[in-house]
Amino acid sequence: MRLLVFAVFLALGAATVIKDDLDVGNTFKKDSLVNLDVKTKEICIMKLLNHILQPTMYEDIREIAQEFVIEDNVDKYLKVDVVKQFVQTYKMGMLPRGEVFVHTNEKQLDEAIKTFRLLYFAKDFDVFLRTACFLRERINGGMFVYALTVACFHRTDCQGVVLPAPYEIYPYFFVDSQVINKAFQMKMTKASLDPVVRDYFGIRVKDNNVVVIDWRKGVRHTVSESDRISYFTEDIDLNTYMYYLHMNYPYWMTNDIYNVNKERRGEIMMYATMQLLARLRLERLSKNMCDIKPLMWNEPLTTGYWPKLRMHNGEEMPMRRNNVVLVTKDNVGDKVLVDDMEKIVREGIITGQIALRDGTVLSLKKAEDIEVLARLILGGHGLQNDNAKIIHVSNVLKKMLSYSTYNVDKYTYVPTALDMYTTCLRDPVFWRLMKRISKTFVLFKNLLPRYTVDELEFPGVKVERLITDKLVTYMDDYDVDITNALYLDQSEMQKKRSDMIYIARMHRLNNHPFKVTIDVVSDKAVDAVVRVFIGPKYDCMGRLLQINDKRLDMVEIDTFVYKLDTGKNTIVRKSDEMQGIIEERPLTRRIWDRSMENVGVGVKMIDSYWSKSRIGFPSRLLLPMGTRGGLEMQMFVIVSPVRSGMILPTLDMTVMKERHSCRWSTCIDTMPLGYPFDREIDVTKFYTNNMKFTDIMIFRRDMNTANVVKDVDMSDMVMKRDDLTYLDTDMLVRRSYRDVMMTSVDNMTHM
């Protein structure tokens, strides 16, 4: 019997093409699933993740799920105990289908890890796929997505497979509930919603059964000053970046079993946290907002937070009111634990060592010991047998702010935004929590020796000039496919597609492509590492910042190896070529179409997205939003020799290249991440010929001319300004009797 692939071509063009029963050659015979090409693997994974909230609509998956019995195939897994542990847990009862899987809930995470191990230790892709089909029909959907995603990140036979974006798999954690609610209204009414209401909310129905819902229209809510930069903290690609960082460097993954003992995953997660804080700092400066303060337990949270998210089970993600007292009689135990852990770690940094219960003494004296410190705080140190309950300082801190004090170990756990890697960046208190944690890393770095001239300079190399194009940012429109948030009815399940495609049109920060030009003179031909940073010049009050005041706010936008020739070298780096960034994440429907076009013919690169790392930072967020007159910042470049084994001699860069874990300079250099700004700077020895600062200006295009709302005839429209919301100056209102009434009603709602 052949395993059929039912490919769904749902293009956003004029016609929707449906191919329900596509048999692609003889590739899918039951005994030939080991050597599938990458494109066929993509199709299989996308089918498993499609409409995850419902039983699968594909007969081939259901057939395998019914026929494959894990207990009868123990010999097809690399570790027998993995199968036994999962089966025992499964028979005892796991997170019920329909409940929300919470990333930081210890009980649920333990079950997810056992599920992941079952997938990871499958002997080949054939067993992996059949195991995934078995799980797809039996365990909780959110837990299945989590385990399958981590497995795809770490299995070698899944390299090159493009996964659907998490905001398309489960839109509830990325898209405001009012948008999803409008999509449900359109589905329930079969797009026959009151036209006045539909126009007011910016809902458009196209001829090809595509419903476009304008995220910005209707009543907007601003709770605190932090909402001024919500376009950044709630950006779906930025939150995907945070989620994928965890997928690639899960703190619960043991060193020896998964061959990650030589990765700098602790340091990478530490630096990622510091870089996110620095990037937030730049965005706040663009709005004349001062830096955030570390979270303090002895003072209430003066400003609340409204996530505006509703999960698929109908539960609203809890809102935090203003002036919340953090320490109560219910969480005082967690507060004592946090204080004790922070005290032990900080004392260990000062004394240079920490003694563990088993007698092991951890050194915290050398530069490479940052890996130990990072895993102590962010999780991952000393794990044995995948023990997910290891003390994780940041998770305990999040637990302090949880509303589920009494049911933390129950399946009815209601997560806050902090509990999910997909939503934590949305909550302003998360950044304050990370600021508190970062102070520990700063203390460790400050106690290290300052960089000497020998560690900073590059003899015979001089940076003569550093220039950029005009740097321009703007807000543009972006379409998010939220069809998977809606349930399919019986007829749609039979057709294996939704009758309509639902699109949320959002507003996001973007920048024009730019390039950085660096003129370097060298007296020899040599390989060099080039690091490029942008950072502030003035603080929020307009005061000139000294280098030690701004070094932690320097954002590393590019790091690369360049072969210098003797004489003058002109290095040109385009923004879309910068290391560690990712461009537009394509619609899953586009991936599906591309995969089907290339099934059986090998890998065919269509655009640069496919060759990028899954966890790349969004290229459109490289620059903070500028101002119309120009936001004055600084750019810094340092050209250094390639140092292998100088500062961190125990780490193997080859292993990281093989595992596609290149972040910043981890695959090309062993200097600490953040060099040369990670330690306190001696200004009398810092400035060398191989580095250069230059002033830059970042502009913002006028919202009224930056973009035109898509597919709208503007001939009889005028601009309507709404001063109560931020960046809504491009709202367009048609001047008709009906819309004049709508305008009046809208004005009344803001009185």
What's residue 408's pLDDT?
Answer: 62
- What contacts 345, CB < 8 A, 6 or more positions away? 354, 373, 376, 377, 393, 440
Three-class secondary structure of residue 248 per DSSP: helix
Q: What domain count does the chain have?
A: 4
Three-class secondary structure of residue 160 per DSSP: coil
Distance CA 233, CA 287 (A): 14
Distance CA 584, CA 142 (A): 25
What's the burial of 642, exposed, middle or buried (CB within 10 Å: 0-12/13-18/19+)? Answer: middle
Q: Are 546 and 690 in the same domain?
A: yes
Three-class secondary structure of residue 606 per DSSP: coil
Distance CA 298, CA 227 (A): 25
DSSP structure class, residue 547: H
- Tokens representing 695? 């002033």
* C-alpha distance from residue 395 to each of 104, 238, 327, 337, 376 (Å): 7, 20, 16, 12, 12
Q: Which helix (H) or strand (E) holds 641?
A: strand 631-641
* Strand partners for 418: none
Q: Are 474 and 369 in the same domain?
A: no
Q: Are 626 and 744 in the same domain?
A: no
- 32 falls within a domain: no
Distance CA 19, CA 8 (A): 6
- 356 falls within a domain: yes
Distance CA 300, CA 295 (A): 10
Q: Are 577 and 659 in the same domain?
A: yes
Three-class secondary structure of residue 556 per DSSP: strand
Q: Mutual orientation of helices 428-446 and 370-378 as an angle, nearest 10°?
A: 150
- Burial pattern 645-670, b for ≥16 Cβ within 10 A else e, equals eebbeebebeebeebebbbbbbbbbb
* Strand partners for 508: 476
Termini Cα distance of the chain:
67
* Beta strands at 691-700 and 471-481: parallel, antiparallel or unpaired: parallel
3-state secondary structure labels for all residues of 125-151: HHHHHHHHHHHHCCCCHHHHHHHHHHH
Nearest to 733 by CA among 717, 749, 714, 713: 717
Q: Please identify, among 429, 446, 463, the residue that sits at the C-terminal boundary of a domain.
A: 446
Neighbours of 71 (CB within 10 A): 8
- 31 falls within a domain: no
Under a CB-based contact definition with an 8 Å cutoff, are residues 232 and 621 in contact?
yes
C-alpha torsion angle, residues 585, 588, 590, 593 (rounded to 10): 140
pLDDT per residue as tens digits for the range 523-545: 999 999 999 999 999 999 999 99
- What contacts 430, CB < 8 A, 6 or more positions away? 417, 418, 424
Under a CB-based contact definition with an 8 Å cutoff, are residues 424 and 416 in contact?
no
Residue 91 is which amino acid? K
Under a CB-based contact definition with an 8 Å cutoff, are residues 389 and 400 in contact?
no
- 285 falls within a domain: yes
CA 444 vs. chain centroid, Å, equals: 27
* Strand partners for 749: none
**DSSP code per residue over 378-441:** HS-TT--TT-TTS--HHHHHHHHT-S-SS-TTSTT----GGG-TTTGGGSHHHHHHHHHHHHHH
Overall size of the chain counted in residues: 751
Q: Are 495 and 428 in the same domain?
A: no
Q: Are 439 and 463 in the same domain?
A: no
Distance CA 244, CA 425 (A): 13
Three-class secondary structure of residue 10 per DSSP: coil
Three-class secondary structure of residue 115 per DSSP: helix
* Beta strands at 515-522 and 567-574: parallel, antiparallel or unpaired: antiparallel
What's residue 25's pLDDT?
Answer: 33
Low-confidence residues of the chain: pLDDT under 70: 1-34, 218-222, 255-257, 259-262, 380-392, 403-410, 593-613, 645-662, 702-751
Q: Which CATH number is 624's domain given?
A: 2.60.40.1520
| Residue that the structure tokens 């990140």 belong to | 153
- Tokens representing 525? 């031909």
Q: Which CATH number is 66's domain given?
A: 1.20.1370.10
- 22 falls within a domain: no
- The model's pTM is 0.86
Q: Are 130 and 262 in the same domain?
A: no
What's residue 219's pLDDT?
Answer: 59
- 657 falls within a domain: yes
What's residue 645's pLDDT?
Answer: 58
Q: Please identify, among 149, 164, 179, the residue that sits at the C-terminal boundary of a domain.
A: 164
* Strand partners for 530: 560, 639
Distance CA 523, CA 531 (A): 20
- 733 falls within a domain: yes
Residue 695 is which amino acid? D
Q: Are 615 and 637 in the same domain?
A: yes
Longest dimension (CA), the chain: 80
Three-class secondary structure of residue 249 per DSSP: coil
Distance CA 589, CA 595 (A): 10
Distance CA 81, CA 99 (A): 28
Q: Are 442 and 461 in the same domain?
A: no
Q: Please identify, among 386, 415, 446, the residue that sits at the C-terminal boundary of a domain.
A: 446
Three-class secondary structure of residue 686 per DSSP: helix
What's residue 505's pLDDT?
Answer: 92
What's residue 330's pLDDT?
Answer: 79
pLDDT per residue as tens digits for the range 722-743: 333 334 433 333 333 334 333 3
Q: Are 428 and 576 in the same domain?
A: no
Q: Are 694 and 723 in the same domain?
A: no
Q: Which CATH number is 381's domain given?
A: 1.10.1280.10
Q: Which helix (H) or strand (E) holds 635?
A: strand 631-641
- 620 falls within a domain: yes
Range of the domain at 423: 225-446
Q: Are 591 and 672 in the same domain?
A: yes
- Tokens representing 714? 């503007």
Distance CA 105, CA 173 (A): 17
* Strand partners for 556: 533
